[in-house]
Amino acid sequence: QVQLVESGGGTVQPGDSLRLSCAASGDTFSNYRTTWFRQAPGKDREFVAIISGSGASIFIADSVKGRFTVSRDNAKNSVYLKMNSLKPEDTAVYYCASVSGGVLPPSSRSRMNPNSYPYWGQGTQVTVSS
């Protein structure tokens, strides 16, 4: 199993950028595919991006495609979410989540379902406001 800790959130203005980090400890992190979710007040948890254990494969939600990207550095046991051109609607608590198995499942439904992930961080708040 792995333990996850997010960092990098904050309050920014529309159009700004942020990079979130997800630091892992425990098991060999490259054996885990990792996903970013976000949850705005009063809304369901929303899939943002997923990256395979090796980092070779990624899948980005349509709602943030072209603005967000995901990467990882397994030497540092970390996954990153780079967010550009931030909008007020990106305001949410951002979570990283992992599951054993480095390869992305073929089903997008499985990738995007929060119930597919047993390991979660505590979340980091991102607020986009002028």
For residue 106, count CB atoms less than 10 angstroms from its CB and return exposed for 0-12, middle for 13-18, buried for 19 or more: exposed
The pLDDT value recorded for residue 115 is 93
Gap between the Cα atoms of 34 and 54, Å rounded: 10
Arithmetic mean of pLDDT over the chain? 95
The pLDDT value recorded for residue 116 is 92
C-alpha 52 chain-centroid distance? 12
Largest separation between any pair of C-alpha atoms in the chain:
41
Convert the pLDDT of each residue in 47-90 to its tens digit: 999 999 999 999 999 999 999 999 999 999 999 999 999 999 99
The pLDDT value recorded for residue 21 is 98
For residue 69, count CB atoms less than 10 angstroms from its CB and return exposed for 0-12, middle for 13-18, buried for 19 or more: middle
Tell me what percent of the residues of the chain surpass a pLDDT of 90: 92
Residue 68 DSSP code: E
Convert the pLDDT of each residue in 84-94 to its tens digit: 999 999 999 99
Strands 18-26 and 32-39: unpaired
Convert the pLDDT of each residue in 95-106 to its tens digit: 999 999 888 888
HSE-up of residue 41 (Cα within 13 Å, Cβ side): 5
The pLDDT value recorded for residue 82 is 98
The pLDDT value recorded for residue 69 is 97
